[in-house]
Copies of this chain bind each other. A is one copy, B any other.
C-alpha cells in the first residue's frame, strides 16, 4: 500500500500538496495537480482512513458506530439496512456491534467504539438509564437513539408510537370479539415493552376486559415466546387471543401453538408487534403492527450525519407511525 510520501516523491512535490489535491482544499496549480493525480493512479494509492482519523478529530473520519441489541431480530436488520444505505451514500463505513441484550457486552462495545474514534453512533441502548451511553453523549460524541430513548438527557431519537400501535392491535382484537386477551411482553426494562403494555392496558380497560393475570413478562427472545405462550395455553382458563410484544416472541408463540395443534384464530388468535416481509406466508397470514424499520434506520442515519456536520443543532425526537396490517391470524 503506497503512502502519501511515495506519491509526493514520484510527483516531485511535497506531501502537503498531495494532501491538498486529495481534499481539494486549497487551490493547486493545474499542472502539478495533474502530475499528482497521475502518480496516485500509477501507485494505486489509497489514503489511509486510519491515519486521517488519528490526525484530526476535527475532520470527518467517515466511520459510524451502530450498537444494536439483537441482530437476529428482523426489525433491527431492517433498521441496519436503512442506516447502511445512508452511510454508503455518504461514504461512511459502519462498525456494527450486536450486544445481544447483554449489558457487559454493550459496555465493551461502547468502549471499543470510542476507542475507534468513530464520528457518530446510532444506538438502541439496553435501557433508558444507560449511564455509559449518557456519558458518551455528554462527552460530545454525536449520537442518535433508535427504537429506545434515554431518560434525563437531550438526544436525537427515532422511534414509533409504541403505545398507539399496541392500542390499535389490541382494540382490533376486542372489536373481533375476543374476551381473554393475553400479552407476552418483552424485557420490561426496555421502554418500548412498557409502552406497548400501556397501549394493551388502555385498550382492555376501555373494554372492561383487563386481567393482569394474562400478562407474561419475558426477555424479548424467541425462546421466551415459546415458553410463555406454553404457560398461557396451560392455564386452567387460557386466553382466547394473544398479543405478542415483538417479532421474535411472535415467532416463538407460533411455534408453541402449532406444536400443540391449536387452530389460529379459532382456538387462539394472535396479533404481533412487528411485521415481517414474509408475514403473509406464515400460518396463518399474520396480523401485525408494522414498524417502518427501514425508514427508522434511514432517518436515524440522516439525523446523525446532520449532527456530525452541525453539533449545535437542537435535538429532535422523531416519532413515526406504526400501522396495523390486518391479515388472518385474528
Chain B's nearest CB lies how many Å from the CB of A256?
10
- In Å, the complex CA distance between A112 and B64 comes to 13
Mask: chain A, 242-278; 1 = CB below 8 Å from B; 0 = not: 0000000001001100100000000000000000011
Mask: chain A, 279-321; 1 = CB below 8 Å from B; 0 = not: 0111111000000000000000000000000000000000000
- In Å, the complex CA distance between A71 and B294 comes to 13
Residue A21 lies at the interface, judged by CB distance under 8 Å to chain B: no
> Interface of chain A, helix or strand or loop or mixed?
helix
Chain B's nearest CB lies how many Å from the CB of A274?
13
Copies in the assembly, this chain:
2
Please determine whether B283 and A284 come into contact, CB atoms closer than 8 angstroms.
yes
- In Å, the complex CA distance between A62 and B108 comes to 13
Mask: chain A, 57-79; 1 = CB below 8 Å from B; 0 = not: 00000110000000110100110
Residue A84 lies at the interface, judged by CB distance under 8 Å to chain B: yes
Mask: chain A, 95-123; 1 = CB below 8 Å from B; 0 = not: 11110000001001101111111000000
Stretch in contact with the other chain, from A11-19, A47-55, A153-161, A191-199: A47-55
What is the interface residue range for chain A against chain B? Answer: 35 or more
Residue A222 lies at the interface, judged by CB distance under 8 Å to chain B: yes
- In Å, the complex CA distance between A116 and B115 comes to 14
Please determine whether A115 and B49 come into contact, CB atoms closer than 8 angstroms.
yes
Please determine whether B282 and A281 come into contact, CB atoms closer than 8 angstroms.
yes
Partner among B54, B62, B113, B280 whose Cβ is within 8 Å of the Cβ of A54: B54
Chain B's nearest CB lies how many Å from the CB of A247?
10
Residue A80 lies at the interface, judged by CB distance under 8 Å to chain B: yes
Residue A81 lies at the interface, judged by CB distance under 8 Å to chain B: yes
- In Å, the complex CA distance between A60 and B48 comes to 17
Mask: chain A, 27-51; 1 = CB below 8 Å from B; 0 = not: 0000000000000000000111111
- In Å, the complex CA distance between A80 and B97 comes to 11
Please determine whether A258 and B281 come into contact, CB atoms closer than 8 angstroms.
yes
29 inter-chain pairs at a CB distance below 8 angstroms, sorted by A residue, are A1-B114, A1-B139, A46-B111, A47-B115, A50-B53, A50-B54, A50-B116, A51-B54, A62-B112, A63-B116, A72-B78, A77-B77, A84-B98, A88-B105, A93-B109, A93-B112, A94-B96, A95-B96, A96-B96, A222-B278, A251-B277, A251-B278, A251-B281, A255-B281, A258-B280, A258-B281, A258-B285, A282-B283, A283-B285
Interface residues of A (CB under 8 A from B): 1, 46-51, 53-54, 62-63, 71-72, 74, 77-78, 80-81, 84, 88, 93-98, 105, 108-109, 111-117, 139, 222, 251, 254-255, 258, 277-278, 280-285
Known contacts A1-B139, A46-B115; 10 additional CB pairs below 8 A are A49-B112, A50-B117, A54-B54, A71-B81, A72-B81, A88-B108, A93-B109, A93-B116, A95-B95, A251-B281
